[in-house]
Structure 1
């Protein structure tokens, strides 16, 4: 019997301080998916910036033309960034603090702590 050991919280994600990245990544993946699967989608695929098409030309949509779905997608990126900032130590914060998207943050952590696919092979 292991007295004193505790399980993880289902409402609070695991903290990452630069140690055991693979363990943390797996737990964070499930945690993020459990919050909102679209949140995980934003981290994997990046945010979809609102665009419009005029005469066959696609361009960024002016903010005054954003609809509810546009705001939801932008909000999900901000929420994902917030979650990631809340679960990392100061060294990791300094590493990812200049990233614009949650995908950039996630990818930078992965490259830093696991290397690129070429390095892994």
Structure 2
């Protein structure tokens, strides 16, 4: 629930595992304090499958997730993200994407509260030192 960093990983979406017409979530991050330096980062990964999924939803108040240079098939729902039970508090969430490819990477239909991060922040989050602060 705290931090996780995936590089060159494969994420397989399995259709129908939750029931007909139900989509799952790749992430449910649980950052509880805006000053915590944790989050989930997926870099150079591949999202594919025969079902549909959201990239993530919050588990706690200050969830933070970045998909960076990841290939996304049409298994990713166009809205991309879900606020789950945090409707009205989306400004606390950090759900970001940068440099992704593939049919599921089109951000034109994403929810309007996704986070636009600076390139410096993205590069920091996309480095292993973001998760392993002790080196």
TM-score, reference length from structure 2 = 0.23
Larger radius of gyration: 1
* Greater fraction strand: 2
* Greater fraction helix: 1
Kindly indicate whether structure 1 or structure 2 has the higher relative contact order, using CA contacts under 8 Å at least 6 residues apart: 1
TM-score, reference length from structure 1 = 0.24
